[in-house]
Structure formats: structure tokens, C-alpha cells
Amino acid sequence: MSKVRSRQTSAGAGASATPSRIKRNSSVPRQFQREHPCPSTGLQTGPCPGYIQDHIVPLRRGGADTVDNLQWEKTAEAKAKDRLE
């Protein structure tokens, strides 16, 4: 029988193969969309087809999880950018 080891993902636990998730403020995306309606539908709530909310300065690079650090980005552009980051 083989032993199964769990991976540590908490900060300060040393190098990990699985990075820990950054805690997000769940109210920020809603507030952003109220202040900046969806470019494709013009709505302040609900889905925004073809767009995602993107952090201008990525959270993992020290960016803030605030309305001021969000922008609408086309889904295809976001996927291309994520491959480079």
C-alpha cells in the first residue's frame, strides 16, 4: 500500500506545488458592476456575456481587491493575457 500525503497550502508552510487561493471580498464584483454596467448588456446586475471583471494589477502581484483595481475585459483577451502572466 502506498501512503498519501496532503500538500500544505498555507502561507509560511514552505514551497508548495499548489498555490494558496487569495481571499476575495465577495461584495467588490457586485459594487463594480453597479458603478460600471456590463458593456454588452448595459445592466448593473447579472451576467455579462463576452466579458469578465479583470484586476488591473493582479492580486497575486499585490493588487488590491477593490473597485478601483477592476476593469471589464473581453473574455478572449483575458485568456490570452492570463497565459502570459
- The answer to whether residue 40 sits within a structural domain is yes
- The answer to whether residue 13 sits within a structural domain is no
- The answer to whether residue 2 sits within a structural domain is no
If pLDDT is split at 50, 70 and 90, which confidence band does 17 have? low
Interval 56-81: pLDDT, tens: 999 999 999 999 999 999 999 988 88
Contacts of 67-71 with CB under 8 Å at 24 or more apart are 67/28, 67/31, 67/32, 67/35, 70/28, 70/29, 70/32, 70/36
> How many structural domains are present in the chain?
1
The pTM for the full model equals: 0.69
- The answer to whether residue 37 sits within a structural domain is yes
CA distances from 24 to 2, 4, 43, 60, 63 (A): 37, 30, 23, 12, 12
The answer to whether residue 45 scores a pLDDT higher than 50 is yes
If pLDDT is split at 50, 70 and 90, which confidence band does 32 have? very high
Structural domain containing residue 77: 27-84
